[in-house]
Structure 1
Amino acid sequence: MKFKKLSIAFLTLILVMTLSFTILGQEAELRIYHVNDVHSRVEEDDYAGSMGYAKMATLIDEGRREKANVMFLDAGDTFHGQTIANINEGEAISHILDLMDLDALTLGNHDFNYGQERLEELDYMSNFPFLAANLSKEDGEEIPYTQDYMIKEFDGLTVGVFGLVTPETAYKTHPKNVEGLVFGNPVTAAENAVSELRDQVDVVVALSHLGISEGSEYTSTMVAEEVSGIDLIVDGHSHNVIEEGMMVNDTMIVMAGEYSKYLGYVDLTVENGEVSNISPNLIPREDTMDVEKDYMISKVVERVNRANETITSQVVGRTAVELNGARGNVRTGETNLGNLITDAMRSKLDTDAAITNGGGIRASIDQGEITQGEVITVLPFGNTTMAIELSGADLRAALEHGVSEYPATEGLFPQVSGIKFTFDGDAEPGNRVQQVWVGGEKLDPDAMYTVTTNDFMKAGGDGYSMFADAPIVKEAGGLEEVLMEYIEANAPVAPETEGRIVAE
């Protein structure tokens, strides 16, 4: 009898241990699709290289049929950029992403372009959360349109996602759009978020709009180096194509370029509550030629475009040459489109010079007819044009600031009119500008000059602090309106590069 009791106890112990090992040995699979910096390039576009949301939706739906556990994340700069979004201030994008069952979005700097009130409205109409763990209000009140993180439960695993917004937003949108907001240290915010999430979830994801640019003070690389416990950083802001992911310490960083040229996805294996394998992948647009477009997304895009067509289809003039507004060009050197825009600004307000930030130029224009829609796409931010009075010393300081991050493709790089300057890109920042001429004469640091710029830069945007206190002497309308008026008066336009900006 005693032996029988021992046998039953022994068998019970074995059964419990077997069950325990079965539970501990559970394995779960997770796939995370991701995009970043789409800038509302929602349509397939040969010129921009975009696959568009309709094809992305088809690919993601295929993944959901193949995999039990699937997420879709967006790393920001989503609601603004093209006329399909700008005319309705992001509402069309919200609707499309809802149809695609987006799980979460972190706010990019350009997602603030419509102002905080509109962000709150977009949050209300969207079925996905806006994540921003390092964003707070100066007065300590809760921000109504963001949350620090989200937790999603699947069969067999739990995922925590927190958001990080670049502190550069303070000057990479119009300052009025972020009044009263504090963009905190992303490293500290990440440490706090991981501390809260790590014991609750199997997988920790940072949805980040920090980027990996050497010109940024805070990057996702820094977060991965200084904060342990993050399994994956889905990144944006610097527009990099990280083909096979980038492992930093024990954290994988992924980024899918820009403008919906790529759809990224990461396959993760979770064993015993820990990520045991992580495999990043990118689907380039050229691999999607045979992919059918999602019917509902296509219909929504068609409907919105039809409603906007009466505005966007109006022809304002012609160009005899292609107008170069490519991101990598307007942020590193002189382009003919940069010259055209600044010439229009200087002409409108009759000033000595004009300067605009390359980051405000968002697209090129093909040779031929120019429509209002194309101009709005090039200059989508609704900036106004104004003339300020600057000393020669401050003007030189502005140019010095403009080339301080060269050769990084930063938006502060200047496009100019009425100015010629040379700079040494290998010199230390602060000592790069060599020679400056205004109106053909050498710059006099003690003289006063009238300079046309945009209201974003006048408010200190992109770090142009020397403009903030400069007196405004004239104002005009929207920058896109000024350009359309100039094109109409001078068509066909044929601007050239003229050696206004020379890297020595």
Structure 2
Amino acid sequence: MTKKAYSKLLATATTTAIVASAFAPAASADSKDFSDVSTRYADAVSFLADKGAEGFPDGTFGTHLSIKRVDAAVLIAKVLELDTENAPASGFKDVPARAVGAVNALKEAEIAYGKNSSTFDPDSHVTRGEIALWIERAFQLEGSVEVPFEDVNNRYKDAISMMVANDITQGLTETEFGVSALAKRGDFAIFLHKAYQAMVEQSDFLLTVMHTNDTHGNIQDIAKRATAIEHVRSENPEALLLDAGDVFSGTLYFNEFLGQADLEFMNYLGYDAMTFGNHEFDLGASADGHKALADFIKGAEFPFVSANVDFTKDSTFDGLQNFEVSEDPADGEIYNGIVKEVDGEKVGIFGLTTEETPFISSTGEVQFQDYIERATEMVDKFENQGINKIIALTHLGYDDSLQYDNDLELAKQVDGIDVIVGGHSHTTLDEPVLNEDGEEPTVLVQTGEYGKALGTLDVTFDENGVLTGYAGELIKVSDLEADPVVADMLKPYTEQIEAIKTQSIGKEAAVVLDGVRENVRTKETNLGNLITDGMLAKAKTINPDTVIALQNGGGIRESIDKGDITMGEILTVMPFGNSLGIMELTGAEIIEALEHSVSAAPTASGAFLQVSGLNFTYDSSKPAGERVQTVKVQDGSDLVDIDENASYFVATNTFTAKGGDNYDVFKKAYEDGRLSEPGYVDFEMFAEYLKGLEKIEPTVENRIVDLNAAE
């Protein structure tokens, strides 16, 4: 199975228009524009006109004229959307330039042959019998009947039987098909139109899925997401709409409305199912526990799927969880899996949440189970119910650390999953990924983060539920017009958030917090120290062995004035909503990263690192890559020389951790699975850290010293 083959199938099924000539050069037109097209031929000629068929300069289509072999070949290639550019040369010497690609493609596809190895005979007129053979090979339709035609010999019998069975033709008379008669252009149009319709009816089951993940309270572009969803549904009304978790945490919209704003729009947009992300459990340690999550679930006008999360020990969720696969799930309840009927076919959907959640969120009494075991059980349950089209809606991470779980491993270990709609790692898969590590192929998708895109996926299945093709893309919502109804719904929320931005966080800065662009990108600043100290403090609550924190200077966008600190100021300093990641690096890799950090010094660079938990010196007069002179790591109250062979846990933002600002050393660690992504958003961590300080008066502490400048 190849993506190319699927794209052809998908385009055929959706009647994509083709702009190309199939007959004599002239302007393409609808059948109503041809003066000689009767009612009998109108639909078929309109179909061919949409495919690029053209009439004659006198305004006729020529329905009663015979058709040349070359023109019939070109039009079949167009209708089937064959690859006319890359097909190998046919060897025929007599094909006109306008038809070379089409004839090459038809020969490669074993649809049409020449008179001999070097002659196609393009200008001879094709017979009805020859057209029957071409259509049989081209459309590969099912069905056969006994035919009464006396002029049909064994060469044509199967092809004509197929055409009659699919109501493509009934012959010239009750006893004559007209095998040797020349095919008329009008009859050829009817044959192609009806064969195409039969092919679409007999084609594999097409399932369309729209998906989102890791939106993290970012509803500022929800009206544009609505436009994207409406567009997909206008093409396919039965398309599913799924969310792979982490609706909670990350913006003031969430802080203020605790998911209820997001929920209003998810209900309005008609989501079919959602699984839980780790951040859905962030409020578990609050005075109200998981009340906000329970309220979110209860208010949902769609079900939740979660096969490896057990809520039963927390009474907040009493009555909400069902340990079953339901074909009739209730809105606002949790199921191991659900069954959706799409175009008469049953599709199984189950959910999984990363087992890392108890270590990176506040889960309380909620328990998490082995994702491979539970996924295997779910596939068995669906298959025992005769359901062979299965979607795993996951919050595991595409290629997250295998210390816990990830989607690639799920695809490898559990056969029977056809599609994995993922989240957690904020991975932007611009196109679906086909994974063939297991016995059966699995298609994986993920949109990135923060509602920036709506994911779309088309997959096809044969009658046995075997995946036969796939195609998909991300629709960038910022490029779209806002749906006016949804925009009006959003206004009250936005107005309230804008007011909150001017409010104090309840803390004052005793000094100016230096976020000047030229400073944070060239040297240590007190704001850089404050941000990294807060990052390290948060990381230690997740992994107590974390000893270092790093912040790229390009991620600090403004200073904070002395005096009252507002949330708006914090958002101005950190406008990107970067999330926390914890890497495991060797001392040698840390030194390599520090070399990259100062490689452009004294020129300002967004890659310049502000640091916590270590001090280092460098010499900007030396060649790049040879500048770092000393590195000392915090060990209790002492600073000790870094050990190049030892391993250290290092906190940073996931932009940097995944290779942003050309940190190849971090990218390699990420690709090796040495990154954990608890995902706390930078501005929230910073605000929380500031609120916990008695006095906000950071200083420059010689954490970063340029020996050349010091001289």
TM-score, scaled relative to structure 1:
0.64
Quote the offset at 1:404 in angstroms.
Answer: 1.9
Quote the offset at 1:192 in angstroms.
Answer: 0.9
User: Aligned equivalents of 1:109 and 1:346: distance in 2?
Assistant: 20
Letter of the 1:119 partner, please give it: L
1:243 and 2:430 aligned:
yes
Aligned partner of 2:389 in structure 1 is 203
Contact 1:209 1:235 in 2 (8 A): yes
* CA distance 1:374–1:294, change in 2 (3 Å): farther
User: Secondary structure of 1:404's partner?
Assistant: strand
Among 495, 500, 506, the residue aligned to 1:311: 500
Aligned partner of 1:393 in structure 2 is none
Among 284, 288, 291, the residue aligned to 1:117: 291
Aligned partner of 2:690 in structure 1 is 483
User: Secondary structure of 1:298's partner?
Assistant: helix
User: Secondary structure of 1:221's partner?
Assistant: helix
* CA distance 1:402–1:421, change in 2 (3 Å): farther
Letter of the 1:161 partner, please give it: I
Equivalent positions of 1:68-107 (< 5 A) are: 68-107=237-276
Aligned partner of 1:160 in structure 2 is 348
User: Aligned equivalents of 2:547 and 2:525: distance in 1?
Assistant: 12
Aligned partner of 1:221 in structure 2 is 408
Quote the offset at 1:283 in angstroms.
Answer: 2.2
Among 435, 457, 461, the residue aligned to 1:266: 457
Equivalent positions of 1:349-388 (< 5 A) are: 366-367=557-558, 371-373=566-568, 375=570
* CA distance 1:180–1:421, change in 2 (3 Å): farther
1:340 and 2:530 aligned:
yes
Contact 1:83 1:373 in 2 (8 A): no
* CA distance 1:364–1:107, change in 2 (3 Å): farther
User: Aligned equivalents of 2:306 and 2:340: distance in 1?
Assistant: 17
User: Aligned equivalents of 2:536 and 2:584: distance in 1?
Assistant: 24
User: Aligned equivalents of 1:167 and 1:271: distance in 2?
Assistant: 34
User: Secondary structure of 1:148's partner?
Assistant: strand
User: Aligned equivalents of 2:302 and 2:550: distance in 1?
Assistant: 28
User: Secondary structure of 1:189's partner?
Assistant: helix
Equivalent positions of 1:115-194 (< 5 A) are: 115=284, 116-137=290-311, 144=321, 146-174=334-362, 178-194=363-379
Contact 2:348 2:391 in 1 (8 A): yes
Quote the offset at 1:40 in angstroms.
Answer: 1.4
Quote the offset at 1:336 in angstroms.
Answer: 7.6
User: Aligned equivalents of 1:262 and 1:441: distance in 2?
Assistant: 47
User: Aligned equivalents of 2:297 and 2:636: distance in 1?
Assistant: 48
- Write out per-residue CA displacement over residues 1-21 of structure 1, whole angstroms, 9 at most, x where no aligned residue: xxxxxxxxx99xx9xxx79x9
| Alignment length (residue pairs) | 393
Quote the offset at 1:113 in angstroms.
Answer: 0.9
User: Aligned equivalents of 1:357 and 1:309: distance in 2?
Assistant: 35
Structure 2 segments unaligned to the other structure (5+ residues): 1-145, 148-160, 167-197, 285-289, 322-332, 538-544, 591-608, 618-629, 642-650, 652-675, 679-684, 706-711
Choose 182-191 or 291-300, whichever is displaced more: 291-300
Quote the offset at 1:164 in angstroms.
Answer: 0.6
* CA distance 1:156–1:494, change in 2 (3 Å): farther
Among 263, 277, 294, the residue aligned to 2:469: 277
Aligned partner of 1:29 in structure 2 is 206
Aligned partner of 1:232 in structure 2 is 419
User: Aligned equivalents of 2:297 and 2:252: distance in 1?
Assistant: 20
1:499 and 2:708 aligned:
no
User: Secondary structure of 1:113's partner?
Assistant: helix
- Write out per-residue CA displacement over residues 265-287 of structure 1, whole angstroms, 9 at most, x where no aligned residue: 101223325232211212235xx
Choose 143-152 or 80-89, whichever is displaced more: 143-152
Contact 2:399 2:407 in 1 (8 A): no
Quote the offset at 1:234 in angstroms.
Answer: 0.5
Aligned partner of 1:300 in structure 2 is 489
User: Secondary structure of 2:227's partner?
Assistant: helix
Quote the offset at 1:262 in angstroms.
Answer: 2.4
Among 10, 28, 40, the residue aligned to 2:217: 40
Letter of the 2:387 partner, please give it: V
Quote the offset at 1:73 in angstroms.
Answer: 1.0
User: Secondary structure of 1:442's partner?
Assistant: strand
Contact 1:256 1:263 in 2 (8 A): yes
User: Aligned equivalents of 2:299 and 2:394: distance in 1?
Assistant: 22
* CA distance 1:133–1:340, change in 2 (3 Å): same
Choose 118-127 or 136-145, whichever is displaced more: 136-145
Contact 2:277 2:424 in 1 (8 A): yes
Letter of the 1:32 partner, please give it: V
Percent identity of equivalent pairs = 29
- Write out per-residue CA displacement over residues 96-118 of structure 1, whole angstroms, 9 at most, x where no aligned residue: 11111111111111111122332
User: Aligned equivalents of 1:99 and 1:242: distance in 2?
Assistant: 26
Equivalent positions of 1:415-434 (< 5 A) are: 417=612, 419-420=614-615
Letter of the 1:230 partner, please give it: I
Choose 25-34 or 85-94, whichever is displaced more: 25-34
TM-score, scaled relative to structure 2:
0.47
Contact 1:136 1:143 in 2 (8 A): no
Aligned partner of 2:658 in structure 1 is none
Aligned partner of 2:179 in structure 1 is none
Quote the offset at 1:295 in angstroms.
Answer: 2.0
Contact 2:513 2:526 in 1 (8 A): no
Contact 1:157 1:202 in 2 (8 A): no
Contact 2:532 2:551 in 1 (8 A): no
User: Aligned equivalents of 1:108 and 1:346: distance in 2?
Assistant: 23
Contact 1:26 1:272 in 2 (8 A): no
User: Secondary structure of 1:158's partner?
Assistant: strand
User: Aligned equivalents of 1:137 and 1:359: distance in 2?
Assistant: 36
Among 316, 321, 325, the residue aligned to 2:515: 321
Quote the offset at 1:342 in angstroms.
Answer: 5.2
Larger Rg: 2
* CA distance 1:438–1:226, change in 2 (3 Å): closer
* CA distance 1:346–1:95, change in 2 (3 Å): closer
Task: Identify, as 1 or 2, the structure richer in strand.
Answer: 1
User: Aligned equivalents of 2:499 and 2:313: distance in 1?
Assistant: 44
Letter of the 2:483 partner, please give it: D
Quote the offset at 1:181 in angstroms.
Answer: 2.4
Letter of the 2:345 partner, please give it: L
Among 445, 450, 453, the residue aligned to 1:254: 445
Aligned partner of 2:228 in structure 1 is 59
Contact 2:532 2:550 in 1 (8 A): no
Quote the offset at 1:119 in angstroms.
Answer: 1.4
User: Secondary structure of 1:32's partner?
Assistant: strand
Letter of the 1:151 partner, please give it: V
